[in-house]
Chains A and B, each alone.
Chain A
Amino acid sequence: MLKIEPRKNHSNFLEVSAPVIAVFLTMIFGGFLFLSMGKNPFEAIKLIFWDPIMSPTFSEYSRPQLVIKAAPLILIALGLSFGFRANIWNIGAEGQYIMGALISGSIGLALYPLDSMVIFPLMILGGIIGGVLWAMIPAILKIRFNTNEILVSLMLVYVAEQILALASVGFLRNPEGLGFPGSRDLSKYPSAANPELIANSGIHMGVIFSIIAVIVLTYFLIYHRLGFQIKLLGQAPKASKFSGVNSNYIIIFCLGLSGGLAGVAGMFELTGPAGLINIDFNVGYGFTAIIVAFLGRLHPIGILFAGLLMSLTYVGGELAQFMLNIPAAAIQVFQGMLLFFLLSTDLLVSYKISLNLSNLKTKKLKPFKK
């Protein structure tokens, strides 16, 4: 029988090098995947991992793009990681991201074309409130009626998408848009815009906000009592109860935190890279962030790097797609491999798989002797 058992000697070296090994394994197996499709595997891997950062043709543009694409992933994943540690599974960050963008967008559009310093901070607040309120629905239902927050938060994504579609063709539609769906371009409305702060760096307010969030939440997780209680609730629910942890409070906190961060990520995306509210405003950051949270091992600093790595596979994956005519589905398989190898190397660092033959033998019937 195959058995998974904890390693007695936990190797620090292995723990640090596991992600690197995983990336290498992905390159090898991904290379075979591309080879089987008749593509040059070396060229494909180079396009995905190397060219966005180092190529003279692309890197000047791609490097800031990596930051832009990573920022919302990191923000959302940070919030999710706290809930995941406490066994509170917010799968609906995508919906909270949409609602954050909708509320902040509504504020910005309602005040258009007013010129004022307070509009942008007000919209940030709106983004947080939108996300928090949307996340409070699964939180309150869970506390009051013990509903499953996985289902409720996930289903609310589809509700949010419908509201988004309604807003795009209805109450937030650009009155000068000839009847086509989509709001005004907020990135061209100076009081609401979230532009690049340093030219060609990709750094906008959302990126700054992400970095601050990483620092604050790292501190919070390690030094704050609530950070400890969250870990305790996830690892030993009964013990946490005896030690006086109020699980309802933790549910509200975790869903509120993840909702708020997803909402504000939606706000920064709306006012910067996306520009306008439209039917296809959400492109799956809320779902991808779940992967990022686990890739980062639910630790804020890990999430920072995981977000950048995920973003690299997107930007580099696009390059590989049109440079070599590799189908989008193959790139998704490649991203899936990365996740698979990261999780499995992670498992093998702290656990070992052993073939327990003695176990098999004992099951054999021994001749009965008297």
Chain B
Amino acid sequence: MKILKIFSLVLSTFMVSGVFASDMKVGFIYIGPPGDHGWNYQHDVGRQAVDEAFGGKVETVFQENVPESADAERVMTQMALSGADMIFATSFGYMDPVINVAKKFPNVKFEHATGYKTADNVSTYSARFYEGRTVIGHVAGKMTKSNKIGYVASYPIPEVVRGINSAYLAAKAANPNVEFKVIWIFTWYDPAKEADAAKTLIQQGADVIMQHVDSSAIMTVAEEAGVYAFGQASDMSEFGPNAHLTAIINGWAPYYVKRVQQAMDGTWKGGEQTFDGIGAGMVIIGNMSDKIPANVRKEAQDLADGIASGDIHPFTGPVNKQDGSPWLASGETADIGTLLGMNFYVEGIEGDIPQ
């Protein structure tokens, strides 16, 4: 044992780091690698913004490729044990692990993305991505020549269904002949599967591809096939300079900086549920390609501005459900509860949501 003690003593002398210099330690856990140019990349942009905003006062740490399982609970516990004061868990499946770990560490502040469970030290945040889908849905409706729009979807959860519906309503308003083809691939990130789905849609005649999956593979396929696509989560124009029309960019940075500031000031509160959109900068419409005619670009910008100011709501009646039953009366807008639990297509979309 003596040897072990000496060994550990020697090792601990090497432990020279700046941990104690900062006032606060903030941890982030990612479902994939931050190099995915999508979901995780944007969260990491947010983390770096925290680094920049607070200089040496805040130390950030992150862990990538954390599965949504018992592993997530362990990683967060270890982060909390290592002295993290605040943890951002950036994927839906971390929900129950966050709640469990939060119980054990009442003094650590937790922020969980896209979930619905909160606690005294757990707040949630999510973005109204469907607002962005309204804008790109409009662009898609205007840009399609074949009147067929392909949509690669991940899982049939409310967020994805909501996105399909808002994109369809906007595309239909822009072009009454438009038709949607949806392929569900049951994964968030699988470049090969995403590419296969996009190829199938293109073979079926789609000339604009929308996606609710994370990789840039679809953009690459679209570029090769000479059709259009949209960046998901971040600008993906480098993967398809000609195909890239615009992007829905996830703007987590302002929220992260704000929440860390609140934590430092002592004004941070648990139990809050943030659901922000274009207005708050959590959803950003990327640069629009000059392939889009100027008038369409302006219409899209007006749409985005209208949504930001609250003048336009993406779900405004009259809208029927797929089976023809009425959902929203003329002028009525969707309530938040229905949107958060959305499990039906609106009228005009063909096919079924997998059950």
In the bound complex, residues from chain B placing their C-beta under 8 Å from that of A283 are 67, 69, 71
In the bound complex, residues from chain A placing their C-beta under 8 Å from that of B68 are 278, 280
Q: Are B341 and A323 within 8 A (Cβ)?
A: no
Tell me the smallest distance from the CB of B114 to a CB of chain A, in Å: 9
Q: Are B8 and A274 within 8 A (Cβ)?
A: no
Q: Which of A10-18, A53-61, A149-157, A348-356 contacts B (4 or more CB under 8 A)?
A: A53-61
Q: Are A321 and B63 within 8 A (Cβ)?
A: yes
Tell me the smallest distance from the CB of B287 to a CB of chain A, in Å: 30
- Distance between Cα atoms of A278 and B97 in the complex (Å): 13
Q: Which of B63, B96, B157, B342 is within 8 Å of A275, CB to CB?
A: B96
Q: Are B82 and A57 within 8 A (Cβ)?
A: yes
Q: Which residue of chain A is the closest to B340 with respect to CB atoms?
A: A178
In the bound complex, residues from chain B placing their C-beta under 8 Å from that of A229 are none
0/1 per residue, B70-92, Cβ < 8 Å to A? 11011101110110000000001
Tell me the smallest distance from the CB of B14 to a CB of chain A, in Å: 4
Q: Which residue of chain B is the closest to A329 with respect to CB atoms?
A: B33
In the bound complex, residues from chain B placing their C-beta under 8 Å from that of A169 are 155-157, 186, 354-355
- A165-B186, A327-B64, A328-B65 in contact; A315/B81 too (CB < 8 A)? no
- Judged by a CB distance under 8 angstroms, whether B15 is at the interface is yes
- Judged by a CB distance under 8 angstroms, whether A81 is at the interface is no
0/1 per residue, A43-73, Cβ < 8 Å to B? 1001000100010011001100100110000
Q: Which of A179, A181, A328 is within 8 Å of B64, CB to CB?
A: A328
- Judged by a CB distance under 8 angstroms, whether B11 is at the interface is yes
Tell me the smallest distance from the CB of A207 to a CB of chain B, in Å: 14
- A68-B70, A274-B70 in contact; A61/B157 too (CB < 8 A)? no
Q: Are A57 and B340 within 8 A (Cβ)?
A: no
- Judged by a CB distance under 8 angstroms, whether B173 is at the interface is no
- Judged by a CB distance under 8 angstroms, whether A358 is at the interface is no
- Distance between Cα atoms of A283 and B73 in the complex (Å): 14
- Distance between Cα atoms of A267 and B12 in the complex (Å): 41
Q: Which residue of chain B is the closest to A177 with respect to CB atoms?
A: B116
In the bound complex, residues from chain A placing their C-beta under 8 Å from that of B46 are none
Q: Are A180 and B15 within 8 A (Cβ)?
A: no
A118-168 CB contacts (< 8 Å) to partner B? 162, 165-166
- Judged by a CB distance under 8 angstroms, whether B242 is at the interface is no
- Judged by a CB distance under 8 angstroms, whether A325 is at the interface is yes
0/1 per residue, A174-189, Cβ < 8 Å to B? 0000111110010000
Q: Which of A42, A281, A318 is within 8 Å of B14, CB to CB?
A: A42
In the bound complex, residues from chain B placing their C-beta under 8 Å from that of A276 are 96
- Judged by a CB distance under 8 angstroms, whether A170 is at the interface is yes
- A42-B14, A274-B70 in contact; A322/B355 too (CB < 8 A)? no
- Distance between Cα atoms of A178 and B337 in the complex (Å): 10
Q: Are B15 and A179 within 8 A (Cβ)?
A: no
In the bound complex, residues from chain A placing their C-beta under 8 Å from that of B82 are 57-58, 319, 322-323
Q: Are A322 and B78 within 8 A (Cβ)?
A: yes
0/1 per residue, B269-285, Cβ < 8 Å to A? 00000000000000000
- A170-B355, A178-B340, A318-B74 in contact; A323/B81 too (CB < 8 A)? no
- Judged by a CB distance under 8 angstroms, whether A227 is at the interface is no
- Judged by a CB distance under 8 angstroms, whether A25 is at the interface is no
How many residues on chain B are close to A (CB under 8 Å)?
A: 44
B207-238 CB contacts (< 8 Å) to partner A? none
- Distance between Cα atoms of A191 and B14 in the complex (Å): 49
- A170-B354, A278-B68 in contact; A322/B79 too (CB < 8 A)? yes
Tell me the smallest distance from the CB of B104 to a CB of chain A, in Å: 9
- Judged by a CB distance under 8 angstroms, whether A347 is at the interface is no
In the bound complex, residues from chain A placing their C-beta under 8 Å from that of B354 are 166, 169-170
- Judged by a CB distance under 8 angstroms, whether B27 is at the interface is yes
Q: Are A328 and B96 within 8 A (Cβ)?
A: no
Q: Which of A61, A69, A162, A275 is within 8 Å of B78, CB to CB?
A: A61
Q: Are B33 and A328 within 8 A (Cβ)?
A: yes
- Judged by a CB distance under 8 angstroms, whether A40 is at the interface is yes
- Distance between Cα atoms of A334 and B342 in the complex (Å): 45
Q: Which residue of chain A is the closest to B7 with respect to CB atoms?
A: A50
- Distance between Cα atoms of A280 and B116 in the complex (Å): 19
Q: Are B62 and A325 within 8 A (Cβ)?
A: yes
- Distance between Cα atoms of A254 and B341 in the complex (Å): 47
Q: Are A280 and B69 within 8 A (Cβ)?
A: yes
- Distance between Cα atoms of A9 and B1 in the complex (Å): 34
B243-268 CB contacts (< 8 Å) to partner A? none
Q: Which residue of chain A is the closest to B12 with respect to CB atoms?
A: A46
* Most chain A Cβ neighbours within 10 Å, of B4, B74, B342, B354: B74
Q: Which residue of chain A is the closest to B71 with respect to CB atoms?
A: A283
Q: Which residue of chain B is the closest to A276 with respect to CB atoms?
A: B96
- Judged by a CB distance under 8 angstroms, whether B343 is at the interface is yes
0/1 per residue, A296-322, Cβ < 8 Å to B? 000000000000000000010011011
Q: Are B341 and A179 within 8 A (Cβ)?
A: yes
Tell me the smallest distance from the CB of A44 to a CB of chain B, in Å: 10
- Distance between Cα atoms of A65 and B75 in the complex (Å): 11
In the bound complex, residues from chain A placing their C-beta under 8 Å from that of B78 are 58, 61-62, 315, 318-319, 322
- A68-B70, A274-B69, A276-B96 in contact; A40/B14 too (CB < 8 A)? yes
- Judged by a CB distance under 8 angstroms, whether B306 is at the interface is no
- Distance between Cα atoms of A323 and B70 in the complex (Å): 20
- Judged by a CB distance under 8 angstroms, whether A213 is at the interface is no
- Distance between Cα atoms of A274 and B93 in the complex (Å): 11
In the bound complex, residues from chain A placing their C-beta under 8 Å from that of B342 are 179
17 contacts between A and B (CB under 8 A): A43-B11, A43-B17, A57-B81, A62-B78, A69-B74, A169-B155, A178-B158, A178-B341, A179-B158, A179-B342, A181-B157, A274-B69, A279-B93, A280-B67, A280-B68, A318-B74, A319-B78
Please give the residue numbers on chain B whose beta carbons come within 8 Å of chain A beta carbons, in ascending order: 4, 8, 11-12, 14-17, 27, 33, 61-65, 67-71, 73-75, 77-79, 81-82, 92-93, 96, 116, 155-158, 186-187, 340-343, 354-355
Other A-B pairs, 15, CB within 8 Å; known A42-B14, A69-B74, A322-B75: A43-B15, A50-B8, A57-B82, A165-B187, A166-B354, A169-B156, A169-B355, A181-B157, A182-B93, A273-B70, A315-B74, A322-B61, A322-B82, A328-B63, A328-B64
Closest 6 CB pairs of A and B: A273-B70, A42-B14, A165-B186, A322-B63, A322-B61, A46-B11
